[in-house]
Amino acid sequence: QVQLMESGGGSEQSGGSHRLSCVASGLPASVHCMAWFRQAPGKEREGVAAIADSATKYAESVKGRFTISEDNAENTLYLQMNSLKPEDTAMYYCAAVQPPCPPLGAGHGLEEFEYDYWGQGAQVTVSS
């Protein structure tokens, strides 16, 4: 059974940095197909960043500011968020799917339907 548990939610000032973590269990040790999504109040959930066998993809809104990474030994996914903006305020969700990983080309990799497993979410609030 796959389980995902996010941690690290909190509040930051605009321009600050924050890191989210997601501990995964039940996934193959060799290849991880994982992503971060977020949902702001009144908005649909959107893909933020994805990682598949070390390849990465980012939404345009976070490219250059956010970094997705993983520690396979610790079965942990990270999202390092720098230069935070108030519009980054949202509930952030960790997501995963069993291999084979979704392709990370145009139109793929950051869609909700591509992932089967979800964490409970971690709130990040950025104040101006």
Contact by Cβ (8 Å): 22, 60: no
Q: Are 4 and 23 in contact (CB under 8 A)?
A: yes
Q: Count of CB atoms within 10 A of residue 94's CB?
A: 28
Checking if the pLDDT of 29 tops 80, the result is: no
**Least confident span in 21-35, 60-74, 80-94:** 21-35
Given a cut of 90, whether residue 110 has pLDDT beyond it is: yes
- Confidence at residue 53, expressed as pLDDT on a 0 to 100 scale: 84
Give the rounded percent of residues in the chain with a pLDDT score beyond 70.
100
Residues in Cβ contact with 42 at an 8 Å cutoff, skipping those fewer than 6 apart = none
